[in-house]
Structure formats: C-alpha cells, structure tokens
Amino acid sequence: MFFATTAQPQLRRQAYANAGRTLERFMEDALRANANKAVAYTQDETSFTLTLDMPGIAKDQLSISIEGAIVRIASKEGAARRYSAAYELPQEVDTSLSEAKLENGVLTLKLVKKVPVSNATELVVH
C-alpha cells in the first residue's frame, strides 16, 4: 500500500505537467496535415494545375505572386481566414499566360510552363 500511494501522484504530475505542450504539438500537426490535404497538384506538357480549398475567402482577399518557379498564396489583411503558403514547382511559370479562378471556395491555378530559351551564342573562330 505504501508503494501505491507514492508512485501514482508522481506519475500524474508528470503526465499533466507536459499536457499543454503535447496538445499544442497535436494541434500544429493536425493543422499541417489538413493544410496539405486541401491541395491537389497535376501537370501536363504545357501547364501545372494547383487546386486549393479556400472556404470563406473572397477573390479580393487573396494575394497570389509568382517568381520564377515559386508560387506564393496568402490572404490579405482583414480576410475572414488566414492563409499563407508557398509552392516550388519543377519549372518556371509564364505569368502572362497563367490564370487563377476562385469558385465556390476552391481556388484553381492554371500555371503555364515557361518555354526554356537558349541563350547560347556561337563564336566565330578566326
């Protein structure tokens, strides 16, 4: 009986002492898992297509920027929900031909692949 009364309170204190951090880690992992599941990615010879679930965000509350092969999507200040993500694609994107559409809480980005241009210059041998 002596052993049972001293061991149990110590175990309970240790379990409750770290409960706040454990819950915090659990919530962060759950949010990260949900964020990754809400994205679909496909590609063909000419373009990439990203489809993201964005419920509760209007067109004017989104900011989409493309720099080379990196696409950044973020909600603007005052949006009902916060969203921020960056995606690196395997090839640069032609921004002049790409388009974005937000319909029924689903953002669809059709990102046209940039055609590589050769900058090779031939030298004349003298």
Identify the pLDDT of residue 8. Answer: 46
Span 38-115 CATH architecture: Sandwich (2.60)
| pTM flag (> 0.95) | no
What number of other Cβ atoms are within 10 A of residue 92's Cβ?
16
Give the DSSP letter string of 66-123: EETTEEEEEEPTT-SS--EEEEE-SS-EEEEEEEEEEETTEEEEEEEEPPP-----PP
Angstrom distance (rounded) from CA 78 to CA 57 = 10
Angstrom distance (rounded) from CA 102 to CA 93 = 19
Q: Return per-residue pLDDT of the chain as tens, 126 residues.
A: 455 544 444 444 444 445 556 666 766 666 665 555 578 989 999 999 999 998 889 999 999 999 999 999 999 998 888 889 999 999 999 999 999 999 999 999 999 999 888 888 889 998
Identify the pLDDT of residue 15. Answer: 47
Identify the pLDDT of residue 113. Answer: 94
